[in-house]
Amino acid sequence: MSNESLEEFYSQILGFEWPWEVQEIIRDGKTREVHVIVAYDETDEPHCPVCGKPAPIHDRRARKWRHLDSCNHKTIIQSGVPRVKCSEHGVLQVPIPWAERNSRFTLELERHVCMWLREASISAVASMFDMSWDIVAGIQERAVNRGLEKRETASPKNIGIDETSFQKRHEYVSVILDKDNNTVLDVLQDRTAKTLDDWFKAQKVADFKELRSISMDMWDAFIKAVKANFKGAKSLIVFDRYHVAQHLNKAVDKVRAKEHRELMKENGTSELTGTKYDWLKTSVNIDNRTGDRPAFMRLARLNLKTARAWRIKETAALLWDFIYEEVAVKRWKELLGWISRSKIEPMIKVGKMIKSYFWGILNAIKLKASNAMLESMNSGIQRIKRMACGFRNRVRFRMAILFHFGGLDLGF
């Protein structure tokens, strides 16, 4: 291949178009690098990138961008990029079609990095592309910001607000979900009333013209913020089965842990050993006839406090699909009576909570609020958290959630 056709070849595979042209290709065998020198044809009179008026070239800045490797050679694009001087807008760099303004990577390389980030952790992608962790995180962040800029205002019908811990225990962010589109609208830095209130007030992501429901946990801070921003908040707010089940599960787990300790102390042995997760599964979601389940079901019939607490939880899981409101109210009242007589302290506590927030549970039943999206989103978020081995800060966590679940057009 003659040199001229090699340059043409690179021009074509890199997609350069006039006035940009490949001037020279330099291969460094020692460092295994290919340098593609690109020039700007100055017979094309440049324009101001802001107003589009012709503007003379002021100077040139030497710049480099890393591109995808070619044949195992690190490929670097180099160019003296002209800066024009506009009488109105001052000195500005002409637009570069292959890279974002301040990036040191071509868009094509950033696209590949983002493609891999869909499947692998930031550290895995960093080592694959021989980049630092921060650089890969920066590429992800730019892609998310491009997507956010392009995103149109949504009119969600059913939103969910879900708090999720991001690093240490008891440090939370709030994830706002569009439940019908399966996307994350935004991630807020904590779970306080003020943060949510400010978000509703400064809203650009969504108008709430078609809003029918807001599902959330029985959490006064969120309730307060919704009430401050929506008329008829009390009929919008929904305490879905997912959050109610979480509270009941936590209580069952407490009962089990305590009873296990007592049995060990008394008898030196306990039927509850190694059964933690069996009690947390919900029968409506699994088949009790297969696997280890028959053995567990025998245990669940024993006269244990844990088994009684578990039966309460299992019953609550069945009280969500009613056609008639009166029937729903009657069944929940029966359950609450059972709980209050149970003499099991953690369950009684949740029972009181359910009683005082029952209006929102009834809304969930009436609106047939689905919890499938909340659950799948929550496990998706847990997965990216595990993949990243935790996030250093809330900003990074927000970026990763929006990258994976924001439904964004990342601009490639």
Binding site for Zn ion (CB under 5 A): 48, 50-51, 86, 88-89
Q: How far is the CB of 381 from Zn ion (least distance, A)?
A: 44
With respect to Zn ion, which residue has the nearer C-beta, 36 or 48?
Answer: 48
Q: How far is the CB of 6 from Zn ion (least distance, A)?
A: 38
Give the type of residue at 207: D
Alpha carbon distances (Å) from 296 to 11, 275, 287: 67, 8, 12
The SS3 assignment for 81 reads strand
Q: Report the DSSP beta bridge partners of residue 172.
A: 165
State how far the Cα of 367 lies from the Cα of 242, in Å rounded to an integer. 15
State how far the Cα of 120 lies from the Cα of 330, in Å rounded to an integer. 49
With respect to Zn ion, which residue has the nearer C-beta, 15 or 95?
Answer: 95
Residue nearest to Zn ion (CB): 48
Question: Which residues contact residue 199 at a Cβ distance below 8 angstroms, ignoring those fewer than 6 apart?
Answer: 176, 186, 188
Q: How far is the CB of 149 from Zn ion (least distance, A)?
A: 22
With respect to Zn ion, which residue has the nearer C-beta, 56 or 337?
Answer: 56
With respect to Zn ion, which residue has the nearer C-beta, 89 or 311?
Answer: 89
With respect to Zn ion, which residue has the nearer C-beta, 26 or 51?
Answer: 51
Given a contact cutoff of 8 angstroms between Cβ atoms, the answer to whether 338 and 147 are in contact is no
The SS3 assignment for 219 reads coil
Q: Tokens 């990342």 label which residue?
A: 410
With respect to Zn ion, which residue has the nearer C-beta, 83 or 311?
Answer: 83
Q: Tokens 């990577």 label which residue?
A: 105
The SS3 assignment for 387 reads helix
β pairing state of 237-239 and 213-216: parallel
Q: How far is the CB of 61 from Zn ion (least distance, A)?
A: 18
Q: How far is the CB of 51 from Zn ion (least distance, A)?
A: 3
Q: How far is the CB of 90 from Zn ion (least distance, A)?
A: 8
Given a contact cutoff of 8 angstroms between Cβ atoms, the answer to whether 409 and 216 are in contact is no
Q: How far is the CB of 44 from Zn ion (least distance, A)?
A: 17
Alpha-helical (H) ranges within 65-203 are 107-117, 122-128, 133-150, 193-201
Give the count of alpha carbons within 13 A of 34, CB side only.
17
Q: How far is the CB of 39 from Zn ion (least distance, A)?
A: 24
Q: How far is the CB of 43 from Zn ion (least distance, A)?
A: 21
With respect to Zn ion, which residue has the nearer C-beta, 15 or 56?
Answer: 56
Alpha carbon distances (Å) from 72 to 1, 16, 302: 19, 22, 65
Alpha carbon distances (Å) from 50 to 57, 90, 203, 238, 311: 15, 10, 28, 48, 67
With respect to Zn ion, which residue has the nearer C-beta, 89 or 394?
Answer: 89
Question: Which residues contact residue 194 at a Cβ distance below 8 angstroms, ignoring those fewer than 6 apart?
Answer: 225
With respect to Zn ion, which residue has the nearer C-beta, 55 or 218?
Answer: 55
